[in-house]
Structure 1
């Protein structure tokens, strides 16, 4: 089994329930073809670089998964049939370096999913000692 990433862009005209149903259907397509979903990353509604049809925005969702390479053609065929998807891209992670990057992306997505939505990441600002001395003078 190889590691893959799919970025799908769903139509913005759908309701939240319809978007979630489409994402669930996409995940079902992957699992029904023998795939194992490692992580998901809902990137939310974003402005597109250029209009796709009459749509200037889209709901972006990334799915990281492992599946047998022979199943990719069927997964992509089913994606093409789905009229609610504006675009999708499948990225294959093949070499050791790419697999390491895929693992890091999966960990990052899992960490993002477990972090509460309202909790913002607070970073401590460190002032170098040289600047502190200048301020005292």
Structure 2
């Protein structure tokens, strides 16, 4: 079965619970059409490079999907209709990584304070 990564950006004024509900809705659409969501990652509220529909920030969510082609078409159709989603992209991938995505690793590194060790200003 083909593998996909589906990333969508939700409006900045949504709560985290509403963003999680959008991810659950996308999961339900995939599972109702004989697909399977392997992993869901919420990357959080991030700054955008430019304004999109008067939004300077957006909630980023990625779904790893294993599903037939028709499922992706239905998912994109439903996503296009939703007013809370400002952008989305689905790409087909050859294989899924079992480790966290680059964005999740970046978030972990930022929470830990970087990998520079004692070179931070406060450590002098």
Once residues 48 and 81 of structure 2 are traced to their aligned partners in structure 1, the CA distance between those partners, rounded to angstroms, is 22
- Distance apart, 1:16 and its partner CA: 1.9
Once residues 82 and 72 of structure 2 are traced to their aligned partners in structure 1, the CA distance between those partners, rounded to angstroms, is 16
Structure with the bigger percentage of helix: 1
Which protein is bigger by CA-based radius of gyration? 1
Counterpart for residue 109 of structure 1:
100
Once residues 121 and 3 of structure 1 are traced to their aligned partners in structure 2, the CA distance between those partners, rounded to angstroms, is 34
Once residues 62 and 45 of structure 1 are traced to their aligned partners in structure 2, the CA distance between those partners, rounded to angstroms, is 13
Runs of 4+ off more than 6 Å: 121-125
Paired residues, what number?
A: 110
Which consecutive residues of structure 2, in runs of 5 or more, have no partner in the other structure? 118-124
Q: TM-score, normalised by structure 2?
A: 0.77
Q: Deviations over 1:46-74 (max 9, x none)?
A: 11111011101000011001001122211
> Contact conserved, 1:33 with 1:75, CA < 8 A, in 2?
no
